């Protein structure tokens, strides 16, 4: 295959690979999982031998260059299938080992075992040349991380199931021939997996791959600081992972003296840990990125090893405590370190260019091989050396785990410097992990990606609107390009609830304004205004004259929220000239947001229009109260008046009387008002306010109130002259004096000013 697979063919290829993955995982579990370690221990193998057997898992990576050479002449898939078939067949040597044991030739049995394991990993190493290219091709698309983790989940689920079957089959003291039956079953599964992988489409080839020297590729890769740092971290993590996962089986057998069946049962908990970390990574990797998950897995691995240092010797013989401890240990070590290995591969595939996937994939596995093989082999030698100088297995393993803890701490300190690859920072990732809202949003997005029902899609987008999360932005932007209007509408509405917009979101909303008038453009304009997107300011200025009056109105509101003071005069002209009631109301609301006293005269001009509709009058007086900084207090008064207009006089007089009483309770008994001219002045204002309001409201005579307003002391408010001049003239205007809402507002403002002045001198 030289071109990317179509969605249909990609789905079919993934299905085939999933079947392959099931048989492959089952074969691995029955051939070279913990069963080989247990079998070797039944044969009396030393720790060094067991370390060597486990090192073979990683030695296989040293044969990847041979697979690279073969790839120049044969297809990747043919090499993959051939190697996978023959690696299983080679394990027939181990199937025959129990026969040698029955014949009294344990040395031959151990030799057949190590030869069979070596041959298995020899062919495995050759075949793994196709692993990264095949996975990379099948993981094409936006769900790359999720699919790679799905492969891991299938693998871990089958491993857990296989471990359970092995544990049930081995029981307490299994006969040696039972190992032959289990291994033979693994051979059959391996041959089946080899035939299945041949049905996977050929991955894309690399141009001129035969001309590239591998050593040159490695030098080029290691000259890059980001890749070099990852290589060092991965080396440390792979070394620790190889040691602790391999020797935890020996730990349970030698330190706790548990039988083969019991140890196999612990591996079920290990498989469960592998499954759980797979589900965890699949759920989060495409949302928060690979780096923070890599760090979290290493932190968990570090925490899971610490109890081995402090586990007391007396607790070893306590069966219940030992079982709980070992179950926990197997679960956590596999959860942490298999998770680390899996997410490390996801991170690596995102770090390297696609055209170097084959060559750098060899580098990845060689590092994995050196670290794992070296760690396992030297860990075995260390345990034998400690045993040789008389140190008990209990203390020997404490020393081994202490070394692994130290290496893990070093890796963890280095991880902070890794290239983010568009991942969230660790703090942000942890906030997501422990945030119910973000986790719910991720769940909704996953369901949204799977649904093909338009009604369900609409409901899920509505739920995302009610569950605002920055993690939803990418998915919402994809839905915002839907050919279906309702889907676009709900997607854009969901963006409105976010605390902040990304650069991509701002660009998408600007494009929506340009391309989708009369549909969703007005919502996008509102969102850009709410989120203070100054990049959209020139476009919003143009849109105030749009024929889409909803868009024009939202553009006016957005400009006010952006505090575009220079454009305010144009908005005032639009309000006065337009006949569209909706646009006029939105313009009035915008002037209230500007809070400029210079707009008061424009708002009064709107009220002078013959018979303005009630809803417009309400909006105008509310905008004026916002400019006068009394909207919060005045709104409740206006609501009471609208509910019962007969309360007009009572509400106005209550305002004047309560303001006078506020003054009197705070300032009335203070004699110093006689010596302070300002206090004496405000005392006269307080004494006269009720009479001025009474004349204005009962007799519609605004002369006293106009004089009262003009006589407010100097320095009373920041915009004193403009507000006082406009309002003092308004109470004398016969045309405006008939507007009860306005009269109520002016009285409220006057009472409010008396209260503010009283507080100033309190």
The DSSP line for 74-85 is S-HHHHHHHHHH
Contacts of 596 (CB under 8 A, 6+ apart): 565, 568, 627
Distance from C-alpha of 282 to C-alpha of 285, rounded to nearest angstrom? 6
Contacts of 135 (CB under 8 A, 6+ apart): 148, 151, 349
Distance from C-alpha of 333 to C-alpha of 576, rounded to nearest angstrom? 73
User: 148 near 281, Cβ under 8 Å?
Assistant: no
What is the radius of gyration, based on Cα positions, of the chain? 39
DSSP 8-class letter at 317: G
The model's pLDDT over 272-312, given as tens digits with 9 standing for 90+, comes to: 888 788 778 878 887 888 899 999 999 999 999 999 999 89
Tokens encoding 690:
């009720």
Residue 589's CB is within 10 A of a number of other CB atoms, namely 18
User: 230 near 343, Cβ under 8 Å?
Assistant: no
Q: Is the model more confident about 138 or about 624? A: 624
Distance from C-alpha of 436 to C-alpha of 438, rounded to nearest angstrom? 6
Tokens encoding 58:
């990683």
Tokens encoding 639:
């609501």
User: 170 near 264, Cβ under 8 Å?
Assistant: yes
Q: Among 103-117, 305-319, 466-480, whose mean pLDDT is lowest?
A: 466-480
Tokens encoding 41:
């221990």
Distance from C-alpha of 604 to C-alpha of 655, rounded to nearest angstrom? 22
Average pLDDT for residues 535-540, to the nearest whole number?
92
Long-range CB pairs of 635-639, under 8 A, 24+ apart, other chains included: 637/744, 637/748, 638/741, 638/744, 638/745
Of 341, 360, 358, 240, give the one whose Cα is nearest residue 290: 341
Q: Among 197-206, 482-491, 519-528, 744-753, whose mean pLDDT is lowest?
A: 197-206
Distance from C-alpha of 406 to C-alpha of 395, rounded to nearest angstrom? 17
Q: Does the pLDDT at position 131 exceed 80?
A: no
Distance from C-alpha of 354 to C-alpha of 458, rounded to nearest angstrom? 37
Residue 32's CB is within 10 A of a number of other CB atoms, namely 25
Q: Among 148-162, 411-425, 614-628, whose mean pLDDT is lowest?
A: 148-162
Residue 57's CB is within 10 A of a number of other CB atoms, namely 24
What is the separation of C-alpha 550 from the centre of its chain, rounded to a whole number of angstroms?
35
Vertex 249 angle, CA 247 and 251, to 5° = 70
Q: What pLDDT shows up at residue 553?
A: 92
The model's pLDDT over 571-584, given as tens digits with 9 standing for 90+, comes to: 999 888 888 888 99
Whether this prediction's pTM lies above 0.85 is answered by no
Distance from C-alpha of 31 to C-alpha of 194, rounded to nearest angstrom? 15
What is the share, in percent, of the chain residues with pLDDT greater than 70?
91
Q: Is the model more confident about 720 or about 730? A: 730
DSSP 8-class letter at 76: H
Of 651, 612, 625, 653, give the one whose Cα is nearest residue 745: 625
The model's pLDDT over 203-259, given as tens digits with 9 standing for 90+, comes to: 876 544 445 566 776 677 677 788 889 989 999 999 999 899 888 888 888 888 887
Q: Which of 282-286, 541-545, 671-675 has the highest mean pLDDT?
A: 541-545
Percent helix, strand, coil in the chain (nearest 5)? Answer: 80, 0, 20
The model's pLDDT over 327-362, given as tens digits with 9 standing for 90+, comes to: 999 999 989 998 898 888 888 878 877 667 666 777
Q: What pLDDT shows up at residue 1?
A: 40
The model's pLDDT over 28-44, given as tens digits with 9 standing for 90+, comes to: 888 887 788 888 888 88
Distance from C-alpha of 643 to C-alpha of 614, rounded to nearest angstrom? 13
Residue showing tokens 């920072």: 425
Q: What pLDDT shows up at residue 669?
A: 56
Of 455, 510, 513, 514, give the one whose Cα is nearest residue 487: 455
Q: What pLDDT shows up at residue 63?
A: 85
Tokens encoding 16:
């085939």
What is the separation of C-alpha 383 from the centre of its chain, rounded to a whole number of angstroms?
43
**Average confidence score pLDDT of the chain:** 84
Q: What pLDDT shows up at residue 586?
A: 92
Q: What pLDDT shows up at residue 2?
A: 43
Of 230, 203, 206, give the one whose Cα is nearest residue 368: 230
User: 404 near 246, Cβ under 8 Å?
Assistant: no
Q: What pLDDT shows up at residue 673?
A: 52
Burial class (CB in 10 A: 0-12, 13-18, 19+), 672: exposed
């Amino acid at each position: 295959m030289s071109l990317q697979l179509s969605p249909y063919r990609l789905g079919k290829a993934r299905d085939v690979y999933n079947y392959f993955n099931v048989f492959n995982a089952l074969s691995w579990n029955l051939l070279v999982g913990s069963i080989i370690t247990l079998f070797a221990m039944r044969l009396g193998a030393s720790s060094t031998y067991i370390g060597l057997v486990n090192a073979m898992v990683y030695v296989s990576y040293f044969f990847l260059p041979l697979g690279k050479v073969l790839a120049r002449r044969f297809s990747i898939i043919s090499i993959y299938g051939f190697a996978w078939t023959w690696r299983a067949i080679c394990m027939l040597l181990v199937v025959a080992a129990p026969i040698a044991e029955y014949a009294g030739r344990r040395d031959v049995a151990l030799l057949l075992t190590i030869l069979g394991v070596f041959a298995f990993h020899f062919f495995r190493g050759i075949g793994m040349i196709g692993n990264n290219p095949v996975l990379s091709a099948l993981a094409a698309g936006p769900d790359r991380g999720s699919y790679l983790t799905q492969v891991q989940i299938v693998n871990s689920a089958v491993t857990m199931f296989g471990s359970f079957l092995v544990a049930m089959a081995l029981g307490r003291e299994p006969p040696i021939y039972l190992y032959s039956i289990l291994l033979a079953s693994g051979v059959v599964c391996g041959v089946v997996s080899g035939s299945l992988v041949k049905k996977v489409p050929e991955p894309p080839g690399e141009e001129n791959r035969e001309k590239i020297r591998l050593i040159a590729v490695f030098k080029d890769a290691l000259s890059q600081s980001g890749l070099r740092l990852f290589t060092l971290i991965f080396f440390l993590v792979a070394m620790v992972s190889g040691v602790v996962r391999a020797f935890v089986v020996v730990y349970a057998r030698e330190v706790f003296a548990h039988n083969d069946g019991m140890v196999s049962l612990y591996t079920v908990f290990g498989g469960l840990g592998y499954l759980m970390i797979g589900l965890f990574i699949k759920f989060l990797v495409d949302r928060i990125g690979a780096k923070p998950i890599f760090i979290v897995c290493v932190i968990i691995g570090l925490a899971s090893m610490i109890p081995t240092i402090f586990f007391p010797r007396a607790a070893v013989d306590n069966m219940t405590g030992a079982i709980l401890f070992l179950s926990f240990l197997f679960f956590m070590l596999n959860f942490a370190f298999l998770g680390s290995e899996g997410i490390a591969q996801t991170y690596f595939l995102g770090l390297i260019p696609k055209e170097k996937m084959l060559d750098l994939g060899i580098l990845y596995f060689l590092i994995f091989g050196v670290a794992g093989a070296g760690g396992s082999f030297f860990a075995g030698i260390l345990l034998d050396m400690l045993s040789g100088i008389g140190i008990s297995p209990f203390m020997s393993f404490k020393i081994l785990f202490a070394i692994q803890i130290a290496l893990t701490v070093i890796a963890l300190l280095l991880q902070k410097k890794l290239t983010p690859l568009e991942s969230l920072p660790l703090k942000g990732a942890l906030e997501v992990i422990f945030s119910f809202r973000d986790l719910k949003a991720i769940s909704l997005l996953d369901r949204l990606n799977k649904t093909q029902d338009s009604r369900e899609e609409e409901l899920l987008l509505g739920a995302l609107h009610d569950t605002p999360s920055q993690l939803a932005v990418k998915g919402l932007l994809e839905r915002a390009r839907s050919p279906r209007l309702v889907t676009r509408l709900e997607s854009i509405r969901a963006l409105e609830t976010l605390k902040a917009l990304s650069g991509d979101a701002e660009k998408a909303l600007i494009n929506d304004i340009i391309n989708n008038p009369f549909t969703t453009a007005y919502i996008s304009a509102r969102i850009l205004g709410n989120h203070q997107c100054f990049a959209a300011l020139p476009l919003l200025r143009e849109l105030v004259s749009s024929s889409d009056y909803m868009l024009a109105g939202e553009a006016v509101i957005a400009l006010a929220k952006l505090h575009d003071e220079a454009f305010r005069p144009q908005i005032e002209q639009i309000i006065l000239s337009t006949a569209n009631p909706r646009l006029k109301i939105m313009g009035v609301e915008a002037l209230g947001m500007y809070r400029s006293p210079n707009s008061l005269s424009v708002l009064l001009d709107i009220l002078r229009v013959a018979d303005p509709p009630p809803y417009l009058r309400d909006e105008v007086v509310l905008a004026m109260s916002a400019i006068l900084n009394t909207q919060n207090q005045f709104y409740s008064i206006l609501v009471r008046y609208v509910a019962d207009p007969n309360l007009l006089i009572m509400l106005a007089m209550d305002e004047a009387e309560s303001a006078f009483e506020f003054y009197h309770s705070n300032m009335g008994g203070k004699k110093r008002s006689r010596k302070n001219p300002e206090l004496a002045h405000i005392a006269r204002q307080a004494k006269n306010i009720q009479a001025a309001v009474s004349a204005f409201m009962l007799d519609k005579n605004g002369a006293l109130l106009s004089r009262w307003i003009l006589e407010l002391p100097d320095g009373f408010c920041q915009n004193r002259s403009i507000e006082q001049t406009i309002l003092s003239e308004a109470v004398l205007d016969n045309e405006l004096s008939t507007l009860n809402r306005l009269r109520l507002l002016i009285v409220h403002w006057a009472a409010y000013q008396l209260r503010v002045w009283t507080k100033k001198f309190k």
